[in-house]
Amino acid sequence: MEVAVVVKIVLSLALVGGVGLFLRLYRALVAKPGQLRSALRKQGINGPPPAPLLGNILEIKKSRTATTKAPTCGAPPEHNCANALFPFFEKWQKKYGDIFMFSLGNTLILHVTEHDMVREITTCTSLDFGKPSYQAKERGALLGNGVLTSNGTHWAHQRKILAPELYMEKVKGMIKLVQESTMTLINSWNNIIEAKGGIADIKIDQHMRSFSGDVISKACFGRNYSSGEEIFFKLRALQEASSKKVLSTGIPGMRYLPTKSNREMWELEKEIKTLILKVVKERQEVGYEKDLLQTVLEGAKNGNLSQEALDSFIVDNCKNIYLAGYETTAVSAAWCLMLLAANPEWQERVRGEVLEVCRGQIPDADMIRKMKLLSMVINESLRLYPPVAIISREAFKGMKFGNISIPEGVNVWAFVCSLHTDPEVWGADSYQFNPNRFANGITGACKLPHLYMPFGVGPRVCLGQNLALVEMKILIALILANFSFTLSPTYIHSPALNLVIEPGNGVNLYVKKL
């Protein structure tokens, strides 16, 4: 009798628990996303109908497959990166307008290309409108979980210790490192060309990464330079693993399943954290060094954080420095050299400027400021192939931009690739390589300069922007001063999204010593 009572009680508890779990899942996966869509639909915002649990993921995959074209050999006649990477956005925009909604799993996203609303979104400083929580969960492994916390406190502290003006001071002190690393690359190419008999087919991507990795490893880790190289190697592997999971971002529970890709990411995250904290321990034992890691450590000490939060903060910031100062520079330099190779008249013009300004010397800060043509070419390259494809934010409380009320939990995307090539903003030649548009700077390049945002814009602009630009200018100036180059017949044009927009098949150049 007593056993039967116990069994009934257990079954009743299990039933109540099961019903409770079902109701919670129903609210999270069905009811809440439905309420958010309904709130936006009442304001005249529509979008493609989502499938249960998957949202529009299957439609996105189908669109990508249907629009896949044979890779272009050589430079394309038009540089329409947005259509190459996100063909479904163009289709939806034509059907639903400049503001529409879609879903990745149960994550609801508001896609915005309406110009005035983009300005409001990208300049919003409220901590209630910050980096999406889905990034903190799915991609935070690479980008830094702490920096992406929903309440913004960790992000605000990071901005304080690595503020743009402080970071720029560090950049000025890193110019010598940039010069040294560039000369290492120049000497390497000289050896390759000499071994090949005067002209070489060089796949430049790894050379660009070795250059930027050399700079940032020495700048960030000082005497622990070799450990920095190992950390960046593993971060690159983590970046590649993370990029494969972008479409599964909003599928409930996917990040917890022990799939092969998840296990790979978990192991890399563990190894990276161990390596970074090992370097920090060694630094604390040997004492002070004037580098970026020291800046992070000093800022962390002043943050009144627990040991766990302190470790997380340090690891997160090292990851962000990696993406800002390493990957962004390498990829942007590769695209710029590709465009100069495909446009020999501009290559000659910029080379003439470099030779006139530098007169055989290694460019320094004063010299690169005088190189107007080089700046124009870099700006145009970043317009056509921005490292940041999408600026994303999440409303942690109800927000209002223009006439649109955005409910809590909705993510907002401003599509940089599309805004950078909008003919209404940039003119009829918006898909063409034309550095002349930047002859009067960014403010004179288009009707709405706030829509130019290769490194993001506003209060959350990429902290590594100044370093990336200095690295690119010194690197490209020295390459132009020492070599002429054209696109190799083996170059296949295929932009790919790997957290940053990079050449999917690499960039092959025919390089000849001057």
Contacts 24+ apart (CB under 8 A), 348-355: 349/373, 350/374, 350/377, 350/476, 350/480, 351/480, 351/481, 351/484, 354/477, 354/480, 354/481, 355/481
- Are 48 and 90 in contact by the 8 Å Cβ rule? The answer is no
- Are 447 and 304 in contact by the 8 Å Cβ rule? The answer is no
Q: What are phi and psi of 484, to 5 degrees?
A: -110, 155
- Are 110 and 411 in contact by the 8 Å Cβ rule? The answer is yes
CA–chain centroid gap for 378, Å, is: 17
Tokens of 229: 């190289």
3-state SS assignment for residue 308: helix
Q: Give the C-alpha separation, 295 to 176, whole Å.
A: 19
Nearby residues of 310 by Cβ (< 8 Å), 6 or more positions away: 300, 303
Tokens of 233: 């190697």
Q: Give the C-alpha separation, 455 to 450, whole Å.
A: 12
3-state SS assignment for residue 363: coil
Tell me whether residue 462 is annotated as binding. Answer: yes
Q: Give the C-alpha separation, 453 to 419, whole Å.
A: 9
- Are 481 and 354 in contact by the 8 Å Cβ rule? The answer is yes
Q: Give the C-alpha separation, 356 to 358, whole Å.
A: 6
112 - beta bridge partners?
99, 414
Return the half-sphere exposure (C-beta side, CA atoms, 13 A cut-off) of residue 196. Answer: 15
- Are 378 and 336 in contact by the 8 Å Cβ rule? The answer is yes
How would you label 62-74 residue by residue, b for 16+ Cβ within 10 Å and e otherwise? ebeeeeeeeeeee
Q: Give the C-alpha separation, 39 to 504, whole Å.
A: 39
3-state SS assignment for residue 133: helix
3-state SS assignment for residue 505: coil
Q: Give the C-alpha separation, 164 to 178, whole Å.
A: 19
Q: Which of 348, 332, 339, 306 is nearest to 473 (CA)?
A: 332
Helical pair 307-322 and 292-301, crossing angle rounded to 10 deg: 150
103 - beta bridge partners?
108
Q: Give the C-alpha separation, 72 to 77, whole Å.
A: 10
Residue positions forming the annotated binding site for heme: 462
Residue positions forming the annotated binding site: 462
